[in-house]
Amino acid sequence: MMMTAVRTNKGSDQSGMTLFAVMAVMAIFAVGLLAVAPTVQQEIQREKEEESIMRGEEIAEAIRQYVEFYRGAKLPNSMDDLLEGLPQGTHNRMILRPSAATDPLSADGHWRLIQADVDSLASFARRVQRFNDGVLPNNPSPTFDRYTLVLQNSLNLDTDEDSTAPDDTFDTVTDNQPFIGVASQSKMRSVISYYGIENHSKWIFTPLFRGTGRQRIGGVQPPRPPTPVR
C-alpha cells in the first residue's frame, strides 16, 4: 500500500509539472500575440487604405469620363449616375465597377460627395500645391478649367494646416448632389500618406489637377516641380 501511495504522488507531481509547462508556453504565446497585435492591426488598416485609394482613383477616372462626355455641361449627381455608365450605341458603356462605389473605410460604406466649390476643394488643392513645390498640375482637359477658376484667389501657401488632423468642417452628403470628387467619411489618422495628407477625411479623389503640365495658382513657380505621387 505504501508503494502504491508513492507512485500516485509521483504521478501527480508529473501531471502538475506538465500543466505548469503548458501554462508557461501559453503565457509566452499570449505575450507574443500582444507584441505583434499592433503590427497586424496596422497592416490591416494599410490594406484597407490601399483599397480605398484604388477605388477612389477609379471614381475620379469615372467622373473624368462622365464630365468629358457631356462636355462639361453637367456633373454626376449621384454614384448611380456613374454606375449606369455612358450611352454607347444601343447600350451603356460601364465606367465604374460596382465594388468601387463602396468605401472600405467608412462605417456604412458610402462615399462623401465633394462639390466643385472653394469650401470643398481649397484645402485639398493647397495640399497638392504644397506637395508640388508651389504649383498645381493642370487639368486633364480644358473641360475642367471652369471648376478650378474658383480657386484662383483662395490658395495660400502660408497656411499652416495639420495634415494628420481630421476635417471637422464637412457636411456628410452621400447622394443627390452634383460632385467633382469623393472622400471618405472616416476621420481616422492614416498609415499611408496621400499627397502628404495623413487623415482619411482629407483625401479627395477627383479628376482635377491630374494633367502633365502646370497651372500657376499663387506662390512662386519653380522650374521643374515633381509629378504628384501617392
Q: What is the 3-state secondary structure (H, E, C) of 32-99?
A: HHHHHHHHHHHHHHHHHHHHHHHHHHHHHHHHHHHHHHCCCCCCCCCHHHHHCCEEECCEEECCCCHH
Lookup: cell for 183: 472622400
192-213 tens-digit pLDDT? 999 999 999 999 999 998 876 6
Look-up of cell digits 481649397: 122
How far is it, in rounded angstroms, from Cα 184 to Cα 196?
Answer: 16
Tell me what pLDDT residue 132 has: 84
Residue 194 pairs in a beta bridge with: 197
Tell me what pLDDT residue 228 has: 40
Phi-psi domain of 43 (left: phi exceeds 0; alpha: psi -120 through 50; beta: other): alpha
Q: Are 192 and 50 in contact (CB under 8 A)?
A: yes
Tell me what pLDDT residue 160 has: 60
DSSP string, 163-198: TTS---S-----SSS--SEEE-S--PEEEEEETTEE
Tell me what pLDDT residue 193 has: 93
Tell me what pLDDT residue 24 has: 66
Tell me what pLDDT residue 201 has: 93
Look-up of cell digits 483662395: 154
Tell me what pLDDT residue 221 has: 34
Q: Are strands 189-194 and 181-183 parallel, antiparallel or unpaired?
A: unpaired
Is the pTM higher than 0.85? The answer reads: no
Q: Are strands 197-199 and 189-194 parallel, antiparallel or unpaired?
A: antiparallel
Look-up of cell digits 500575440: 33
pLDDT beneath 70: ranges in the chain: 1-17, 19-22, 24-25, 27, 29-38, 150, 152-160, 212-230
